[in-house]
Amino acid sequence: MSKMGSLYTLSVLFLLSMEAFSQSPLEKVKFSKLTVALSNPSVSCVLQDSRGFLWVGTMDGLNRFDGYDVTVYRNEQDDTTSLLKNAILNIYEDSRSVLWVSTSSGGLHVYNRQQDNFKRLPQYSFDCEVSEFHEDDTSLWIAGVRHNKAFVNQIDKKTNRHRYFELFDSHSPVHSLIPASDHEFWVGIRERGLFRWNLKDNQIYRQGPPAESFHQMVKSSVHDLWIATGKGLQKYNAATHEYILYNTHSTPALPIDNVLNLCMDGKYLWIGTENGGLCRLNTITNELLTLQSNKNDPASLPDNSVHALCKDRQGRIWIGTYSHGVAVIDRLGEKFMEVDIPLGNAVVNAIMLDSKQRLWVGTEEGLIVKSPQGLKHFRHTAAKESLQTNPVLSIYQDIQQRIWVGTWGGGLHRYDEEHDNFIHYMPDKKNKGSLSDANVFSIWQSSETQQLLVATYGGLNVLSDEHTGTFEHVREKQYEFNNYIHTIYEGKKGDLWIGTLEELLRYDHTQKKLSRFETATHSDSVHVGGLCNSILEDSRGRLWVGTAKGLHLLINGKFKKRYTTRDGLPNNIIQSILEDNAGNLWLGTAVGISRFSPDDGVFRNFDIADGMPGNDFRPRACLRNDNHQFFFGGKGICVFNPDSVRENPFIPKVVITELGILNEPVKPGDFGGILKDQISETSTITLPAEYNFFSLKYAALNFTSTAKNQYAYKLEGFHTDWNYVGNQRSVMFTNLDPGIYTFKVKASNNDGVWNEQGTSLTIHILPQWWCTWWIKLSAIVFLGAGILTVYRLHIRNIKKQNKILELQVRKRTEELAHQNEELTQSQEEISAQRDVVSEQNLELQAARQIIEKQNKEITTRNETLEAEVEERTRDLVEYNQQLEQFAFISAHNLRAPVARILGLGHILDIGESDLQEIRSIVEKIVFTTEELDCVVKDLNTVLDVRRNSTTVIGAIKLREELRLVKINLEKEIQETQTLFIEDFSGGDTLWAVKPYIDSIFMNLIGNAIKYRHAERTPIIKIRSEVQGDYLHITIRDNGLGIDLNVCKEKLFMLYSRFHWHVEGKGMGLFLVKTQVSAMGGKIDIESCPNEGTCFRLSFKHAPGT
């Protein structure tokens, strides 16, 4: 036997709970893989035993699986307790929990649970294959083929007497054995078909047409038999003797004729085929569902050849495949579904179900409409009537049944259904009544005024005339951040709530303004302190606001409470909110969906392990349909019925799976026989003192989302309380004192249902040999005798010495009395002197402390002064150098235009020029003057940055700044087909001067495009990360690069240029360096000619630092 770890990610292959979910064309049949490190990927049989372990037979070994680890059993040479062969045919557990294992080409074994090995049954060892088992109240029936004869062996369970039946000559074994009556069996033979066997006279009769490849038979009712054959699936009614054949030509049609195995699951019959996948037949309605592998779909069946099917005690369907191991269908783990829409990698930003039951899906890559007629895609194209941009942020259907679409960077669109295109509403600087901003986050129609409200980063827009595209602009004047509007929501009383970057406001349509109001904790607004992503008024009139900082509760417009991860949320970013019929809130977050009960304040969190397509959901991307189905959008669309999200009710069995000593797993007989039986079958162990350093592993035998199984343990005699350790499955103990301990472990399933009883193991740790009781008793006896002898001798000696001492004491006492008088007098003198010295020492110590303090202050002041002098000196040197450069360049750049103007003036003074020549001179003077004006503007720009007189530090969203720069450079980007790779996950917010950041991005990105390499597509990579107190921004291109060995010293000098084939002034890098320094930042460069350039900008991360 060998242990192999397995990466076990339990997930559900296919959602089939028809009671839990109503039929809908939106629902997607989902498959996931179950990856288990088996001994061989070709599976022949699967069984869950009464202990809860899963046994998997393969073509090369037997595997026992506990949900985490696999124990492999194979033939071991010279070990008669191992398997006889490695190819497993069948596994069966009888009513007494005896596990039977048959192998190919001979071999039947009984598993010894205590010793974790096998007993071989010699009568089945050679020229015999056991392929079928059956058990009734009195007997166990074993069937197969032996010496080319099909046989059945009856074993009486009370007397263990055997009754052997030979049926007929056959090279094929018995594949199925099902009772037909008290004395008759239905018998299926691989190459012969179905027979009826009478035990009384041992006669066998053919029943129905022959089947060339009989594989398996199951019984669904008293009379109905289902037979898997190489020519299809047969249904046989024993009462009417009627056959119904299901094959590739029947209705319904199988995907292939070769049916290998069957498994009854209530009204469903699971059908495993060879190369045709897995089918599910409703035996009542005759509906057939075929599930097949798709190499382009990672969520499909892993292999189309299904060689084993098994239903376990919790209702899971385990599937053994020919080449991809084991998969499982688990109703308990699949609480959620995915809408069947081909999204690719697109993220879903908005979803809406219109009055015609069409599902509108807004993604980063366009708009998708799913209807009973099929799918329709809308993307940005060259056509004038298409979407202006692909990213769709919001979708809304108004009272007139018209569809409105909000985009990022493309403004507002109205869908023209008649012409199947869009009418656009875009910002226009020449038209004050146009849309104020091109980014539309939310759309809502007022039920009172019927006006359309549009949320943008330019404030609230109220559509007053849709034909002319005229909007009224509503802005909050006091706080600019309130004009970054993300959410619009209308309450039941007609209140229009507006969610901004920081606050929740109300829109007063009569006064056409955003109002701020009194709250319980703030005097001027509901300051939620984070981006308002979603708003919902529940059935009890309470207002819930989802923000980037948690879930906020408002009652009557007053803030009451904020819920965060400390209260049980999985994440503080609340993206969307829905309410179910029971009053629970369902919250889409950045790490899954949470169900919140407002009455008891309890959160129940779900994630991708529960069947969701992804964990990250998007703001306001949610809806509830008339069937009470909930939809949440993010990575795919998650759909579910909240009433059907039920918890796994099964209490998991808990087993101790491994004892470890000296970092080695202990098997029966190891380490001097510490274990007589394997640890899972052991209740008490005794450890010598040298083995008081040991470990234990344990497992909850729950195969549904095992990563969510929870554990707790305690060692009685050492711990007083339970240790709750999450999903940790092992514990180590070191240097335990001798004594008797009881190790207890309990566990929960994936939904928090605990097995409080758990399991336990008594551990007796022996003392060292010298600490045993008989050693201690002997030592006490010998020590007592020795002490008594020594005591008697000592008493005798003491008496003798006492007499001598009495004489010496008298004499010595007289001498001491005289000396004591002298010492008393001397002591008084010394005491007086000590008092004087002590006072002097105190005075000296105080003076010394004062001097040391003054010396430290002087030293500190000197060091500070030296640092300030050095810093001021560096600043003066740098400014002098810059001033010298500035003066030189200014003189140089101003001298040339002035000289030209003077020269042209002298020409005019001559007075003999004709009119044409004068006009030419005047044009040159104008051109030269414009050139001079350009120089002066450049110098003013530099001086303005140096003065830093109008800069305002504020929070800047780097992703937004980059998007704006890309819009400004849109023409250059499209002409050069420049590609951008952006990663702001390391930090998206920078406290800096917005105009400077705009200028820095514009110059660096513009240079990257301008100085691109002619032979490759320009690629610009922009990344941010926080390290310590600094936010670093890296801008990397694959352009021409700069030779730093030649140009490094003048890299950031004014009017420095390094490539002369492209027009430029040499101002960009000097201005970037100046602006970065003005904000207290640093800039570094890496560059290599013909490979590209990388700029690294470093700024203080927090404001005011």
Summarised one tens digit per residue, pLDDT across range 876-935 is 545 545 544 554 445 445 545 555 566 656 565 555 556 676 666 666 666 556 555 555
User: Which comes out higher in pLDDT, residue 185 or 478?
Assistant: 185
CATH architecture entry for 654-768 = Sandwich (2.60)
Asked whether residue 529 carries a pLDDT value surpassing 80, the answer given is no
Condensed to tens digits (0 to 9), the pLDDT of residues 776-804 reads 566 677 777 778 788 778 787 887 787 78
- In this prediction, residue 14 has a pLDDT band, given cuts at 50, 70 and 90, of very low
Whole-number pLDDT of residue 873: 53
Has residue 487 got a pLDDT over 50? yes
Sorting pLDDT into bands at 50, 70 and 90, what band is 826? low
pLDDT at 211: 64
Widest CA span in the chain:
152
Chain centre to alpha carbon of residue 353: 29
Q: Is 754 exposed, middle or buried (0-12, 13-18, 19+ CB in 10 A)?
A: middle
What residues contact 234, with CB distance under 8 A and at least 6 apart?
Answer: 208, 211, 226, 227, 243, 244, 245, 246
Mean of the pLDDT values across residues 239-243? Answer: 90
User: Which DSSP state fits 367?
Assistant: E
- Which tens digit of pLDDT belongs to each residue from 322-345? 999 999 988 887 788 888 888 888
Average pLDDT value for residue range 57-75 = 96
Cα gap 413→432, rounded to integer Å: 19
Distance separating alpha carbons of residues 497 and 507, to the nearest angstrom: 6
pLDDT (tens digit, 9 = 90+) per residue, 348-407? 999 999 999 999 999 999 999 999 889 999 999 988 899 999 999 999 999 999 999 999
What confidence score (pLDDT) does residue 251 get? 94
pLDDT surpasses 80 at 212: no
**Strand pairing report for 684-687 and 754-765:** parallel
Find the mean pLDDT for residues 470-478.
88
The mean per-residue pLDDT over the stretch 1044-1054 comes to 77
Its sign, for the CA torsion 369, 373, 375, 377, is: negative
Give domain 948-1100's CATH superfamily.
Answer: Histidine kinase-like ATPase, C-terminal domain (3.30.565.10)
User: Are the C-beta atoms of residues 897 and 935 closer than 8 Å to each other?
Assistant: yes
Question: For 82-99, what is the mean pLDDT?
Answer: 96
Residue whose C-alpha is closest to residue 770's, from 782, 779, 761: 779
Q: Which pLDDT score, from 0 to 100, does residue 914 have?
A: 65
What dotted CATH number matches 846-947?
1.10.287
220-234, 761-775, 877-891, 893-907: least confidently modelled range = 877-891
Strand 117-120 relative to strand 108-112: parallel, antiparallel, unpaired?
antiparallel
Q: Is the peptide bond before 252 cis (omega within 30 degrees of 0)?
A: yes
Query: Which comes out higher in pLDDT, residue 247 or 895?
Result: 247
50, amino acid identity: S
Tokens of 885: 């450069």
Single-letter amino acid, residue 119: K
- pLDDT score of 1059: 73
Return the beta strands (E) in 182-302 as ranges. 184-189, 193-198, 203-206, 214-219, 224-229, 232-237, 242-246, 259-265, 268-273, 278-282, 288-291
The predicted model gives 24-43 an average pLDDT of 70
For residue range 610-667, list pLDDT tens digits in order: 888 899 999 999 999 999 999 999 999 999 999 989 889 999 999 999 999 988 999 9
Q: Tens digits of per-residue pLDDT, 667-701?
A: 999 988 899 999 999 999 999 988 888 999 999 99
On the question of pLDDT at 11 being above 50, the answer is no
Tokens, residue 268 = 């469903």
Where does the pLDDT of residue 463 fall: very low under 50, low under 70, confident under 90, or very high at 90 and above? very high
For 940-996, what is each residue's pLDDT tens digit? Answer: 555 555 555 445 788 888 988 899 888 888 888 888 889 898 989 888 888 888 888
Mean pLDDT of the chain: 85
Choose between 193 and 119: higher pLDDT.
119
pLDDT for residue 353: 96
pLDDT band at 872, cuts 50/70/90?
A: low
Give the 3-state secondary structure of residue 615: coil
**Statement: residue 5 has pLDDT above 50:** no
SS3 172: coil
What single DSSP character describes residue 1048?
A: G
d(CA 408, CA 459): 15
Distance (Å, rounded) from C-alpha 578 to C-alpha 582?
12
In CATH, 213-292 is 1.20.1070: no
**What span, in angstroms and rounded, lies between the C-alpha atoms of 825 and 1026?**
78
Percentage above 90 pLDDT, the chain: 54
Residues 268-315: tens digit of each pLDDT: 999 999 999 999 999 999 999 999 998 877 777 899 999 999 999 999
Q: State the Cα–Cα distance between residues 210 and 203, nearest whole angstrom.
A: 18
Amino acid at 244: I
The answer to whether residue 105 scores a pLDDT higher than 90 is no
Residue 432: CB partners within 8 Å, gap ≥ 6? none
Q: Cα separation of 94 and 100, whole Å?
A: 8
Give me the mean pLDDT over the 1039-1056 stretch. 79
Amino acid at 684: T
pTM: 0.65
Q: Cα–Cα distance between 507 and 502 in angstroms, integer?
A: 16
- 700 Cβ neighbours under 8 A, 6+ residues apart: 67, 652, 653, 654, 706, 709, 711, 747, 748, 749, 755
Give the pLDDT confidence of 178-207 residue by residue, as tens digits.
999 888 999 998 888 899 999 988 899 888
Domains of the chain, residue spans: 1-93+302-335, 213-292, 654-768, 772-817, 846-947, 948-1100
- What is the rounded distance in angstroms from the CA atom of residue 924 to the CA atom of residue 918? 10
**pLDDT tens digit string along 130-142?**
999 999 999 999 9
Structure confidence at residue 255 (pLDDT): 97
Helices 1068-1078, 915-947: inter-axial angle, 10-degree rounding: 30
